[in-house]
């Protein structure tokens, strides 16, 4: 079981020492968890702390003799306070003793064989190179393997999830993450594996040991890849007692990072989201709000826990107002407000106020499908019309969504109001020239119109000719081929001589 320091709240386990470093002078405790009173007395003395600019990047090592064996420690910073103070922890690195190594080896031989995970061999330190395709594939395979085992043995699956999260950051340290693909894959894996760990029915000591290992992984995550794991810390604790214990350890450090009330100084500590999550999980709402009052800048990533706490107490609209006052850097306010209203059963208000902004995807058709899936009680035509109204001047970009919903007449109206990608229109003309020739003809004519206006990306002569042929094929199905050809000929003759479309069709149009 972990031991906690009264002031800094840094956890101690496995004979770890905690200290404050000043210009190379170590002040550590005499007991396994550090000398508590000595560390408390140092907090108010400026001469007994180290500034961020001093000794920050140095790895400091020390050794001590324990029963004749040499124990090696490494000191590393874990939190940077608002006033420039750095808190170090002294981590036990290894034990130089042949006798103890042999004893450990014998104990491993006598223990029951553990599950053999296929992903362990692939996720070694620096295992992957620069390209991200292979590690993304391996991450998906590892998550699938863990979830498959968890179906039959939740405890074994949770242990595999912990092992994976311990290894993932070091394995990906050389991978190019500039595109965001590898980061998205890791974040998705974390979301899936958190539920695996949380749902495992294990005793308190086993879960506490998992949390200790995961927190070590979070602190060693320098890139970082698994920083979002801290946001799920309360869920990983599962029970209130364990969440309270972790919150008691984190809270004093967070207070030091954020300074006194009204103080604009701000430090850095990886445990800030973990602390807030634990306070929320333990339902220590008074302490949560008191701590959030210290935050200098009211970021949504932190104060969202206050909004969720208000919602959990049944104060739905108060939580909405609380969240709307936050500083939102990444557009998460609408998503969080929508989530709170949906959980409160206010589906109409959630749709009217936040559905359009909270479900934006990479493409318009994906946005439409996401809202349609989340609000099945809403008519698809109403959803699409609301989306069009929220994007004036871009009506044509909703053509694919209208087509997907079967609203063909409305789709034609959209492409007459504003531009749409000509190749999208050409594909619609080709796909529907047999089943819905009228719609296909309108799409083909609109495609030629917007091509002549200069829209489209990397358009070739063949693309223009293909659009023309698909349009004539749709007209043939309607027995209006001659009429459409005459109409297109008149339109073609009016194009300027330098027009790309005119030059492309000069040997085709008749």
* Residue at token pair 């190594």: 101
* Cis peptide bond prior to 490, omega within 30° of 0: no
State which residues of the chain have pLDDT below 70: 1-76, 78, 80-113, 261-265, 329, 510
- pLDDT score at 223: 86
Tokens for 401? 């969504």
Return d(Cα 499, Cα 461) in angstroms, integer: 12
Contact by Cβ (8 Å): 209, 203: no
Decide: 184 and 233 in contact? Cβ < 8 Å.
Answer: no
DSSP of 327-345, one letter per residue? B-SSS-HHHHHHHHHHHTT
Under DSSP, is residue 199 helix (H, G, I), strand (E, B) or coil? helix
> Is residue 90 a contact partner of residue 135, using CB atoms and an 8 Å limit?
no
CA atoms within 13 A on the CB side of 131: 4
DSSP state of 83: T
Look up residue 112 and give its two tokens: 């029951």
Enclosing H/E stretch for 89: strand 86-96
Task: Give per-residue pLDDT as tens, 153-209.
Answer: 999 999 999 999 999 999 999 999 999 999 999 999 999 999 999 999 999 999 999
In whole angstroms, what is the distance from residue 380 CA to residue 400 CA?
Answer: 14
Coil, helix or strand at residue 55: coil
User: Buried (b) or exposed (e) across 460-485, using 16+ Cβ within 10 A?
Assistant: eeebbebbbebbbbbbebeebeeebb
Distance (Å, rounded) from C-alpha 143 to C-alpha 139? 6
Residue 65 main-chain phi, psi, to 5 deg: -95, 125
DSSP 3-state of 496: coil
What is the token pair recorded at 449? 């119109």
Give the Cβ contact number of residue 240 at 10 Å.
Answer: 15
- Pick from 423, 381, 426, 418: nearest CA to 402: 381
Instruction: Please give the Cα distance from 398 to 415 (Å, whole number).
Output: 9
Here the tokens at position 265 are 């100084």
**Stretch (H or E) spanning 346:** none
CA 95 to chain CA centroid, nearest Å: 38
| φ and ψ at residue 322, rounded to 5 degrees | -65, -40
Query: Two tokens at 404?
Result: 């997907």
pLDDT in the model for residue 81: 65
Give pLDDT, residue 99.
39
């Amino acid at each position: 079981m972990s031991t906690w320091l009264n002031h800094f709240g840094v956890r101690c386990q496995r004979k770890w020492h905690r200290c404050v470093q000043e210009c190379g002078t170590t002040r550590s405790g005499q007991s396994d968890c550090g000398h508590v009173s000595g560390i408390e007395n140092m907090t108010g003395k400026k001469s007994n702390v180290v500034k961020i600019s001093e000794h920050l990047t140095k790895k400091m090592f020390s050794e001590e003799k324990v029963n004749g064996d040499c124990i090696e420690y490494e000191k590393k910073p874990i939190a940077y306070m608002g006033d420039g103070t750095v808190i170090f922890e002294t981590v036990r690195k290894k034990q130089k003793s042949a006798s103890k190594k042999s004893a450990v080896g014998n104990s491993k031989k006598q223990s029951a064989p553990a599950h053999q995970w296929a992903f362990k061999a692939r996720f070694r330190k620096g295992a992957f190179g620069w390209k991200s395709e292979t590690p993304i594939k391996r991450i998906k395979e590892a998550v699938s393997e863990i979830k498959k085992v968890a179906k039959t043995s939740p405890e074994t699956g949770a242990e595999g999830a912990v092992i994976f999260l311990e290894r993932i950051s070091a394995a990906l340290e050389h991978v190019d993450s500039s595109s965001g693909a590898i980061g998205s894959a890791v974040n998705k894996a974390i979301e899936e594996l958190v539920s695996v760990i949380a749902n495992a029915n294990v005793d308190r000591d086993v879960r506490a040991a998992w949390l200790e290992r995961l927190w070590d992984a979070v602190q060693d995550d320098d890139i970082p890849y698994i920083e979002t794991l801290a946001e799920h810390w309360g869920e990983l604790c599962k029970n209130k007692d364990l969440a309270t214990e972790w919150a008691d350890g984190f809270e004093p450090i967070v207070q030091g990072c954020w300074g006194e009330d009204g103080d604009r100084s701000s430090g850095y500590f990886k445990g800030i989201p973990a602390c807030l999550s634990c306070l929320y999980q333990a339902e220590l709402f008074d302490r949560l709000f008191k701590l959030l009052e210290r935050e200098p800048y009211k970021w949504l990533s932190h104060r969202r826990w206050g909004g969720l706490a208000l919602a959990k107490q049944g104060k739905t609209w108060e939580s909405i107002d609380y969240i709307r006052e936050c500083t939102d850097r990444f557009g998460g306010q609408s998503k969080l407000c929508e989530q709170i209203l949906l959980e409160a059963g206010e589906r109409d208000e959630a749709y009217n106020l936040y559905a359009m902004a909270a479900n934006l995807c990479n493409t318009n058709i994906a946005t439409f499908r996401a809202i349609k899936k989340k609000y099945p009680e809403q008519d698809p035509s109403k959803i699409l019309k609301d989306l069009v109204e929220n994007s004036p001047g871009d009506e044509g970009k909703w053509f694919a969504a209208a087509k997907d919903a079967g609203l063909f007449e409305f789709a034609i109206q959209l492409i007459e109001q504003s531009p749409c990608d000509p190749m999208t229109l050409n594909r619609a003309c080709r796909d529907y020239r047999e089943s819905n020739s009228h719609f296909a003809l309108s799409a083909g004519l609109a495609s030629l119109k917007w091509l002549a206006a200069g829209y489209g990306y990397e358009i070739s002569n063949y693309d223009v000719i293909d659009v023309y042929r698909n349009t004539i094929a749709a007209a043939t199905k309607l027995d209006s081929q001659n009429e459409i050809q005459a109409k297109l000929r008149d339109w073609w003759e009016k194009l300027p001589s330098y027009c790309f479309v005119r030059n492309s069709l000069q040997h085709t149009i008749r």
